[in-house]
Amino acid sequence: MKTLQVFFSKSKQAVVSCLPVRTGEWYQFFLTSFLFFLISTTYNVLRPLKISIMVSAPDSGAEIIPFLKVWGILPGALFFSFLYAKLCKYLSRENVFYAIVSIFIGFFVLFFAVLFPLRNEMEFTSVGVLCESWIPSAKWILAMLRHWHLSLFYICSELWGSVVLSMLFWGFVNEISTTDQAKRFYGIFALGGNTGAIAAGMFGNSFSTQDFDAKLPFGATGWEQSVYLIVGLAILCQVAVLVLFRLLSTLPAIQQKAKRDEKEPAKKITPFTLRNAFSTLYRSPHLRYIACIVICYNFMFNLIDVMFTDQLHIHFGNDTGAFNAFISRVTIANGIIATFIALFVSGNLLRRFGWRSTALTTPIVVMLSCIGFFGILLFRDSFITQSLVFFFTCPVTLLAVYLGGIQQCLTRGLKYTLFDATKEMAFIPLSPKEQRQGKAVIDGVASRFGKSGGSFFYQFLLLFLPTIAATLPYVGILILIIIGLWIYAVIGLTRSLSVKLREREGEAI
């Protein structure tokens, strides 16, 4: 009997260590984690689909992706940042969430019911041919205009992650959480997102390796059926996001905090413009450090992602099914790795070693994984590379694909756990007004400037170099510079965060 009591006592301690949730916090913790799960599932189920739709369109290709990120996603991010700040001025936090998520739902319903079924009829084919005869060098921008409806699908699918997850979800969580709760919950909240990535990857993999013969009522077969099912699943998840957010907003503790914030006149949001956005960053060193970290991560990830996609294209060629299946399996592995980090690493790392060590973990691990991936590509004939090829009995291209997949899993897994947790904790000492303005500027604008910066860099290099693979040495050097700047920003933010926490709560990190 005593042995059983000791066993249950130690088991309870282990659970508390992994899930440090106190009495009275379980309901809020569960709803928030499940909300993260639905948002993540929507993003990860749309991510491979948006690439397949654009790349497989007539007169299109993988080269169109950097142009979409610069000339489509960046203006879209600026629009939603402007809209978010405007809505915050006139509506409550809850209604802002409903309004923006409803915009996404409306577009995906329109795409499901009208734009995709009539995609061939809605192409600007004649306009594209006419303009191409005038401006031959603008081929990929003209392809965006020709397939405007598919371009909008790509843009909205990508913006769902930055707008709904980074800006709305984390902005809401920051406002309802204390610093103590952030240390205990933020790393573990990623469990919901990681589980969503696993579910989305399994769903995408099943549709990449399965043929559809049955006719649907509207006549779609094969690949079209998978598109309808994936978009339909995304719409259902988005509707469930609204329902779950409503349940979370009705919790008494959250409603009381919202009423306290509304009574303070200083919480009003000033009109948002690009000039005010950069002015806000200029006046606040604290926000500048956060913006620098976000820009560095997104710039670096976009550089690595394009290089990894190019290696996948070299290895798989035109086998779209195998291409999508591999990406889906990488998504599953990413979710599993991130789940392990969220359960056993992030919370314990924050509590035992503090904010700075946790924040520095991501750039250091990313740097080490980049050395492996880029090292194989740069030194194909080296002794180490040839030894690995002999040991694993596979060609260099396949070895590079697997190392790139591991690098992607580590980068994205750390992003959804350690990186997001530490970044969002840096917002907590700020006032609700500064939090909302900072989220609009950093997550809405700065993150997109980071990703667009990587696309601009590739576009510049491709003016002088023939292929993505030829840009490898220059991209590798730039990544090392960016990681150095990232580490510098983390150290500076540590000092700023310590000062603000002592001023606001008398705490230290």
Tell me the domain boundaries of the chain: 26-249+271-504
What are the C-alpha distances in Å from 228 to residues 107, 210, 224?
14, 15, 6
What is the per-residue pLDDT for 444? 66
The pLDDT assigned to 490 comes to: 93
Residue position matching structure tokens 């983390």: 490
Instruction: Compute CA 252 distance to the chain's CA centroid, rounded to the nearest angstrom.
Output: 31
DSSP sequence for 309-336: HHHHHHHHTT-HHHHHHHHHHHHHHHHH
Non-local CB neighbours of 188 within 8 Å, separated by 6+ positions: 18, 19, 20, 33, 342, 343, 346, 347
Checking if the pLDDT of 260 tops 70, the result is no
List alpha helices for 56-138, DSSP H.
64-68, 74-90, 93-110, 125-134
- How many C-beta neighbours within 10 Å does residue 215 have? 10
> Residue 293 pLDDT more than 90?
yes
Give yes or no for residue 134 having a pLDDT over 60. no
Residue with tokens 């290709």: 61
How far is it, in rounded angstroms, from Cα 54 to Cα 72?
A: 13
Residue 217: exposure state from Cβ atoms within 10 A (0-12, 13-18, ≥19) = exposed
To 10 degrees, the CA torsion angle through 460, 461, 467, 469? -130
Higher pLDDT, 75 or 278: 75
Give the residue with greater pLDDT, 341 vs 193. Answer: 341
- Give residue 163's pLDDT: 86
pTM for this structure? 0.74
Task: Give the pLDDT confidence score for residue 209 in this predicted structure.
Answer: 54
Check if the beta carbon of residue 68 is closer than 8 Å to that of residue 155: yes
CATH topology assigned to domain 26-249+271-504: Growth Hormone; Chain: A; (1.20.1250)
Which residue from 304, 176, 199 is spatially nearest to 252, judged by alpha carbons? 176
Residue 177 has pLDDT above 80, yes or no: no
Q: How far apart are CA 235 and CA 109, in angstroms?
A: 7
Please count the other Cβ atoms lying within 10 Å of the Cβ belonging to residue 123: 19
Structural tokens at position 495: 């000092």
Q: What is the C-alpha separation between 120 and 150, in angstroms, rounded?
A: 11
pLDDT: which is higher, 485 or 391? 485
